[in-house]
Amino acid sequence: MGGDFDRHERRMWAGSAEAYAGTFGLLCAGAVPELVAAAAVRPGARVLDVGTGPGTVAAEAGRRGARVTAVDAEPGMLELAAANAPEAELYCAALPALPFADGAFDAALGNFVVNHVEEPVAALAELRRVVRPGGRTAVTIWDTAVGAQAMGLFSRAMDEAAIERPAFPRLPVDYERTTEGLAGLLDEAGWSEVECRKVTWTHLVDPQEWWRGPAEGVANLGLVVRGLEPEAYLGMKAAYDRLAAAEAGPDGLLRVPAVALLATAVR
């Protein structure tokens, strides 16, 4: 794997497949129907799903009749993908080095994957390599707004409990999480007919199920929470419970707003 950022990503996701699938993975699934539709996936198409996670994209493409190949760097994710998308061919691999021939696929999909690789342009160029001429890609990343919205409850709980944020490895060369920023990455990677738009939805979730994500170590937030001393953990949880109770609707559920950037392009 590449540098500090990629090594951190592998550590961050190791062993978190089940917790991710039942928490933040359900949030990410909100973008899947539009992602797959944007790539014009048709019956018989050869489709690659990179960073498949629990196989949500692979399963959706399979339901549309595609012949799906899916990859992930975390073995636990592949175990879930095998159960959720049993017809897909699975590989343990990661961008920007895929074990496929040039032009092997009609379309390549990546749901919230580009934001988890150290060299996003190289990753997108690798997707272009494995897609045939005239084939398509569709990828999503989170809009900058998602940090203040979907994860805002956790951030406020950390502030109330005076939890210090550690400095995690950052991208060597960062980019704007905007429609222009994502489109620029695909342009630089050599894709044509690049288009990018926002996709929004609302994720309904029980507050205690939402807490389970960081409590069970999912993503950077999970690394912070799992690393807390017992007193600090209880302080953050108490703050979270107060804030969640105030924000929950009459049905007791949180309404988590999500904003993704969806880009499509043609080789």
CB neighbour burial string for 217-229, b if at least 16 within 10 angstroms, e if fewer: bbbbbbbbbeebe
pLDDT at 184: 98
Residue 147: per-residue pLDDT: 53
CA distance 119 to 173: 8
Rounded CA-CA distance 174/167 in Å is 16
Which of 218, 227, 223 is CA-nearest to residue 24?
A: 218
pLDDT at 120: 97
Structure tokens at 240: 């979270």
Query: Tell me, what's the pLDDT at 149?
Result: 63
Task: Render each residue's pLDDT in the chain as its tens digit; 267 residues.
Answer: 579 999 999 999 999 999 999 999 999 999 999 999 999 999 999 999 999 999 999 999 999 999 999 999 999 999 999 999 999 999 999 999 999 999 999 999 999 999 999 999 999 999 999 999 999 999 999 998 665 566 889 999 999 999 999 999 999 889 999 999 999 999 999 999 999 999 999 999 999 999 999 999 999 999 999 999 999 999 999 999 999 999 999 999 999 999 999 999 999
Q: Which residues partner with 142 through β-bridges? A: 260
> Spelled out in words, what is the top-level CATH class assigned to the domain 4-266?
alpha beta
Provide the pLDDT for residue 66: 98
Q: Interhelix angle for 207-215 vs 219-226, to 10°?
A: 80
> Phi, psi (5° rounding) for residue 202?
-120, 125
Q: Could you tell me where the DSSP H helices lie in 39-144?
A: 56-63, 75-84, 120-130
Report which of 100, 90, 186 is spatially closest to residue 138, judged by C-alpha positions. 186
Give the model's pLDDT for residue 35.
98
